[in-house]
Amino acid sequence: MKSKSFKQTFSYSRRSFIGAAASSAFAFTFVPSKVFGANSRLQVAGVGVGGKGKGDFDGLAMHGDVIAACDVDARRLDVATRKHPDAVKFSDFREMISQMGDKIDVMNVSTADHTHGPAAMMGMRWGIHVYVQKPLTHTVWEARQLADMARKNNICTQMGNQGTAADGLREGAEYIRAGGLGDVKEIHAWTNRPVWPQAPTITARPTEVMSVPDHLDWNSFIGPAPMRPYHSSYTPFKWRGWWDYGTGALGDMACHTTNLAFMGCELTQPTTIESVNTGPINEETFPSWASINLDFPKTDKRGPIKFHWYEGKVGNNGKDNKGEKNLPPLDLLHGATPKNSGLLIVGTDGVMHSPNDYGADWSVYKGGKWHNRSEVDMPEQTLPRNGRGDNGMKEELVKAIREGKPEIAMSNFNYSGNHTEAILLGNVAMRAGGKFTWDAKNMKTNRKDTDKLISKVYRAGWEVDPA
């Protein structure tokens, strides 16, 4: 299908597309990233500038000059660039980066999940520092490649799970690391998602024929996924529930809800992953409900930890959205009321409860009662404070770029790549069913069917090359 292009004409010299081969439409040589002084103006670009992407784009734009913007939806692109009349517009991020990559210093990638990896990897190959919305990638393999690329080439990165910037989350992580809960044994996290269309109401592709809207570049939305006819049930936003484009409730929300646990417990990679209670699986959309267990092994800092994830409504058959909300054992809450989403971290000396997705607020159950975080004895501060929320995430990334220190951005790809890998292994278990083991070093499972789901087949021209 021919792409509808609404690329703006511009005066910059066009880079030639090199080495077009059957395996890839573009080939790259790595361009080293730049380090900036305090007064340098960053050259900013955005990939995905509508919806949440507009907030990411605007947040980065506060720290430099916008020179390019890309979105598959021309209407959203026009809105996002009203404040940036000199920005060159594109609907295909490959064209934007290939033509302007040597001028771009930093860019956000806030597209549908399935194009996070291709866009971010292409940008980093040009030495561009990147801010990528959660989840970092669509597959486990992509998360590893992005983290490896950033580390090998000193690229400054940040994943957009904005709770990371909250002082409360960092205080909670310090409390856990200092032994405030004793030895952590279990982690339980739950969500009210999905809140978008998927199973049980949608389990097959629509058969209705629709024309592609004039404002939409359908080819660029499809990106690395297999081509299919346009339908309004895929985009905007509704892509989250489709296997080809989204990562479902686990991929979407666990990077938020489990962030405090990953940072506080310094989780690495699980060794065993199991789907223990998951609704009927179909080939197109995520299930109505799922419960996933991950076993994290002992490290030199802590003992083994059992991790439990709960989503959806058990028994939901699509009639009046009925079913029993999927929650952890209520006795673990010691009388507290579970909110729509939350996190429990269970230790030998106490239980931490965070009643939302972002980990900024939490309380501890000890001595037969709950204590607010202001009522517990806090250890010495070991993590920097930010407290600026979503904009603080961008500020930390810019500071990392200016100082040439990727570690300043606390959700950098070393951290968030590991986090995303572990979370997306849950989706592998959800789709394949049952239990499998995970050899993180070699990125292998003990089952052929789950091995196939660690990565995916890319449509020609949209591949993610290994780091």
Q: What is the CA radius of gyration of the chain?
A: 22
The pLDDT tens digits along the chain (467 residues) read: 444 555 543 333 323 222 333 334 444 556 776 666 666 789 999 999 999 999 999 999 999 999 999 999 999 999 999 999 999 999 999 999 999 999 999 999 999 999 999 999 999 999 999 999 999 999 999 999 999 999 999 999 999 999 999 999 999 999 999 999 999 999 999 999 999 999 999 999 999 999 999 999 999 999 999 999 999 999 999 999 999 999 999 999 999 999 999 999 999 999 999 999 999 999 999 999 999 999 999 999 999 999 999 999 999 988 777 899 999 999 999 999 999 999 999 999 999 999 999 999 999 999 999 999 999 999 999 999 999 999 999 999 999 999 999 999 999 999 999 999 999 999 999 999 999 999 999 999 999 999 999 999 999 999 999 99
- CA-closest candidate to residue 126, choices 87, 91, 155: 155
100: amino acid identity, one letter: M
Place of tokens 């009927």: 280
CB-based contact 456:114 (threshold 8 Å)? no
DSSP 296-344: EPP-SSS--EEEEEEEEEET--SSTT-SEE----GGGGTTPPP-SSEEE
Domains with residue ranges and CATH for the chain: 165-203+230-389 (3.30.360.10)
- Tell me if the pTM is above 0.85: yes
Residue 321 is predicted with a pLDDT of 75
Residue whose structure tokens are 């990233």: 33
Short-list 378, 31, 365, CA closest to 179: 378
Helix, strand, coil percentages (3-state) for the chain, rounded to 5, are 30, 20, 50
In this prediction, residue 436 carries a pLDDT of 98
CB neighbour list of residue 304: distance below 8 Å, 6 or more residues apart: 295, 296, 297, 298
pLDDT of amino acid 2: 40
